[in-house]
Amino acid sequence: MQNPLYDALFAPHAGNPAAFLTLDDGTTVSFAAFVARIAQTAHALRDAGVAPGDRIVVQAPKCVGMLALYGAAVQAGAVFLPLNTAYTADEVDYFIADATPKLVICTAAARPSLAPMAARTGAALLTLEADDSGTLTDATTGQPDTFPTVPRDPDDLAALLYTSGTTGRSKGAMMTQRNLLSNARALTDLWQITAQDRLIHALPIFHTHGLFVAMNTALLAGARVRLMPRFDLDQMMAEIPRSTLMMGVPTFYTRLLEDPRLTRDLAAPMRLFISGSAPLLAETHAAFADRTGHAILERYGMTETNMITSNPYDGARIAGTVGMPLPGVEVRLTDPDTAAPVAPGAVGMVEVRGPNVFKGYWNMPEKTAADLRADGFFITGDLGQIDAQGYLSIVGRIKDLIISGGYNIYPKEIEDVLNEGPGVAESAVFGIPDPDFGEGVVAAVVMAGGAAFDEAALAALVKAKLARFKHPRRYVVLPDLPRNAMGKVQKNLLRAQFGG
Ligand code: MCA
Ligand code: AMP
C-alpha cells in the first residue's frame, strides 16, 4: 500500500535542485530541500508522539516550516488541522477539546494560553514563528532527511478543517486523501498548471483556498511559488510582472484595481488570474478585463467539498457565474423543501457528489446524516441556477452566513456572544455591502426593558471571545427585531434598512 497524496504531491520532487519557494528576502527553497525538511519534520512529529491517524492542531504564521509541517503530516499519516491565526484562545480551546490532538503547534506568544488546553488532552506542544524559528524547527534539526512514508488508504483522513454552522458550534470536516488528490488533479488539469508556472501566493494557508487549491495544485504540477506572508499591494505589484498565476479572493481584485500601477503592461506576463471563496461582482470582472486584458476565472467551492465548479480555461469565462462542474463532480439543484430536482433553468439548492466530497463531520454522525444524503449528495446551503450553456450562478444562500474578505462569519456565533451582554434581550447579526470586504458585519440589539445600551461593554465582550474579523463594525439599537409570521427574524429587512 502506498500514500497516494504524499506520492503525488511531494515524493516526485525529492532530489530536484530547482527553486520551489521564493520568500520575501529573495531567498529560495529548492524542491529537494523542501522534501528533505518534510522528512525531518516527520521525524520530529514521531518523536513528539504523533502516530498515524493522530491530529495535529496548528495555529502558526505562514512560513516554510508550516508548509513542511503539512507535508510531514501527510508523510507520517497524521491528520493536519490548521487554524486561523486570528482565532482567540477561547475559540482554539473548542477545537483542541473537540479534535483531541496529539500535538499542538503555536507561537511562543500563544503558548501560555494554549499549553493548558494541550495538557488537558495529553498533547505535546511545540512552537513555530513567522521567521521559521521555534521548538518545532529545533526538533527537526539534525534529523535524517528521509522518512519511511506511512502507507495510507485513499479513504484515510489527511486533514480536519473546522467550519462553523448556522446552528451550534463549529464542525470538523473530515478530508480524505482521495478528496484532496482528486480535486488537485482536476484543477491542475483544467487550469493547465505546469512546471513553467510561477504562482503568487498571498492567501492564508489555514483554509482550503490557500492550502489545497493553491498549494496542492502547485505541488502536483511542480510550479514555483512566491510565498508571501500576507496580501500586500506593493509586493503584488512587484510580483505580477514576474509571475504567471494568481489565486485570490475578490478583495484582492478590488484592491488591485484601486491601484493605478495595475496596467495591461504590468499584467502582460501573467497567464491566469483566479478568484473564489466569495462572489466576484460582475463589475469587478469587467473592470479587471478592461484594465489588464485578463478575464478573471471564477470558481466555486466549499470546505466540505473542495472545488465544485469552475469557469473554463479555454472558452468563455462568464462574469457572475461560477462555471461548470469539475470533471468527475456532479451538481444538481433541488427544491429546498421537497428535495425534488427543480425544472431546468429554475433556482434550487446546490447539491454536489463526487470524489471531492468529504467523509463527514468529526464526531457528529447526526450532522453528517443531515447534510450528506444517502445517495452521496452533499447539501451546500447555496442557491443556484444553471443556464442553457450549463454555467452555474450562485444566486443566494439558505444558510445564514456572512462572507467578509473571503472569511466565513456565522451570525449565530456572534449573536450567542451578544445575547450574554449586559442588558441585551436579543440580537441579530447581518451583513451589508462593503466596498473592500464584500460584506461587513452589523449587529442589531434589542435591550431588555429599560436597560441602557453600552457599546463599549459589548465590543469588549466580543473582543474577548471572537476573532477580530468577526467583530461587528456597527451596532444599531432597535425596539424589537422584525419577524415573520413563523417568528423568524427577517434579516433581509435589516439588510435593506441598514445596508443603503
Ligand atoms: C482582516 N480583517 C478583516 C478581514 N481580514 N475583517 C473582516 N474580514 C476580513 N476578511 C480585519 C483586520 O483584523 C483589521 O482589523 C482590519 O480588518 C483591516 O485589516 P487589513 O490589513 O486591511 O486586512 P488584511 O490583512 O489586508 O486582510 C484582508 C484580506 C484577508 C487580504 C482580504 O482577510 C485575506 O487574506 N482573506 C482571504 C481569506 C481566505 O483565504 N478565504 C478562503 C477560505 P483592525 O480594525 O483591527 O485593523 S476557503 C473558502 O472559502 C472556500 C473553500 C473557497 O471556495 O475557497
Ligand atoms: P467555506 O465554508 O469557507 O468553505 O465557504 C464556502 C462558501 O463560500 C460556499 O458555500 C459559498 O457560499 C461561498 N463561495 C465560495 N466560492 C464562491 C463563489 N465563487 N461565488 C459565490 N460564493 C462562493
Q: Is the pLDDT of residue 36 over 70?
A: yes
**How far, in Å, from the CA of 74 to the mean position of ligand 1?**
27
Hey, how many other C-beta atoms are within 10 angstroms of the C-beta on 313? Answer: 15
pLDDT reported for residue 173: 98
Instruction: Tell me what the pLDDT averaged over the chain comes to.
Output: 97
Q: Which atom of ligand 2 is nearest to the CA of 276?
A: 19
Query: Each residue of 94-135: pLDDT tens digit?
Result: 999 999 999 999 999 999 999 999 999 999 999 999 999 999
Q: What's the CA-to-centroid distance between 50 and ligand 2, angstroms?
A: 33
The DSSP H or E segment spanning 115 is helix 111-120
CA–CA distance, 323 with 245 (Å, rounded to integer): 19
CB within 8 A of 89, min separation 6: which ones?
A: 110, 113, 114, 117
Torsion, Cα 282 436 462 166, to 10 degrees, reads 10
Please tell me whether residue 185 adopts helix, strand or coil conformation. helix
User: Nearest ligand to the C-alpha of residue 84?
Assistant: 1
**pTM assigned to the model:** 0.97
pLDDT in tens, 297-309: 999 999 999 999 9
How much distance in Å is there from the Cα of 468 to the middle of ligand 1?
Answer: 10
| pLDDT reading at 447 higher than 80 | yes
Beta bridge partners of 242: none
Structure confidence by residue, pLDDT tens digits, 327-374: 999 999 999 999 999 999 999 999 999 999 999 999 999 999 999 999
Q: Give the nearest ligand 2 atom to 164 CA.
A: 2
Q: What local confidence, expressed as pLDDT, does residue 1 receive?
A: 64
Q: Atom 17, ligand 1: which residue's CA is nearest? A: 469
Region 245-252: what's the mean pLDDT? 98
pLDDT of 168: 66
CA 416 from centre of chain: 23
Confidence at 450, pLDDT banded by 50, 70, 90 = confident
- Of 197, 196, 225, the C-alpha closest to 211 is 225
pLDDT at 245 over 70: yes
Tell me the best of 249, 257, 326, 404 to mutate to test the pocket of ligand 1, counting ligand atoms within 8 Å of each CB and taking the most.
249
Which pLDDT score, from 0 to 100, does residue 169 have? 79
**Model pLDDT for residues 457-489, shown as the tens digit of each residue:** 999 999 999 999 999 999 999 999 999 999 999
For range 391-415, the mean pLDDT: 95
Q: Is 438 close to ligand 1, i.e. is its CB under 6 Å away?
A: no
425-437 mean pLDDT = 97
CA of 230 from ligand 1 middle (Å) equals 10
Ligand 1 contact via 380 beta carbon (within 6 Å): no
In this predicted model, what pLDDT tens digit does every residue of 181-194 receive, in sequence order? Answer: 999 999 999 999 99
> 10 Å Cβ neighbour count for 239?
20
Ligand 1 binding pocket mutation candidate from 277, 305, 309 (most atoms within 8 A of CB): 277
Any ligand 1 atom below 6 A from CB of 299 = no
Task: Decide the pairing of beta strands 324-325 and 330-334.
Answer: unpaired
- Ligand with the closest atom to the CA of 299: 2
Q: Which of 257, 468, 474 to mutate to test the pocket of ligand 1 (most atoms within 8 A of CB)?
A: 468
End-to-end CA distance of the chain: 59
Distance (Å, whole) CA 372 – CA 367: 8
pLDDT score at 130 = 97
Give the single-character DSSP code of 372: B
Q: Is the CB of 277 under 6 A from ligand 1?
A: yes
Cell, residue 258: 484601486
162 CB near ligand 1 (under 6 Å): no
In 3-state terms, what secondary structure has residue 162? strand
Retrieve residue 151's grid coordinates: 502507507
Confidence of residue 216 (pLDDT cuts 50, 70, 90): very high
- Dist. CA 419–CA 268, nearest whole Å: 52
| pLDDT for residue 377 | 98
Across the range 9-21, mean pLDDT stands at 98
| Residue with CA at minimum distance from ligand 2 atom 8 | 277
Cα distance between residue 189 and residue 194, in whole Å: 9
213 DSSP β-pair partners: none
In ligand 2, the atom with minimum distance to the C-alpha of 298 is 19
Q: Which residue has the cell 501560555?
A: 112
- Kindly identify the ligand whose nearest atom is closest to the C-alpha of 371: 2
Give 32's DSSP letter: H
Query: Is residue 166 predicted with pLDDT exceeding 90?
Result: no
What are the backbone dihedrals phi and psi of residue 403, each rounded to the nearest 5 degrees, phi first?
Answer: -115, 115
CA 438 to CA 433: how far, in whole Å?
A: 6
pLDDT for residue 167 is more than 70: no
C-alpha cell at 195: 512546471
Provide mean pLDDT across the span 22-32.
Answer: 98
356 lines ligand 1 (CB under 6 A): no
Question: Is the CB of residue 279 below 6 angstroms from any atom belonging to ligand 1?
Answer: no
**Predicted confidence band of residue 209 (pLDDT cuts 50, 70, 90):** very high
Q: Is the CB of 247 within 6 Å of ligand 1? A: no
Q: Give the Å distance between the CA of 342 and the centre of ligand 2.
A: 21
pLDDT tens per residue, range 272-296: 999 999 999 999 999 999 999 999 9
Residue 262, pLDDT score:
98
CB-CB neighbours of 368 under 10 Å: 19
CB 44 within 8 A of CB 140: yes
CB atoms < 10 A from the CB of 263, how many?
Answer: 14
Contact 331, 392 (CB under 8 A): yes
Could you list the beta-strand ranges (E) of 224-334: 224-227, 245-248, 272-275, 297-302, 306-310, 324-325, 330-334
Nearest listed ligand to the Cα of residue 392: 2
Look at ligand 1, atom 50, and give the residue with the nearest C-alpha: 277
* Ligand 2-lining residues (CB < 6 angstroms): 163, 208, 276-279, 298, 300-303, 322, 380, 382, 394, 397, 403, 408
Give bridge partners of residue 447 from the DSSP assignment.
424
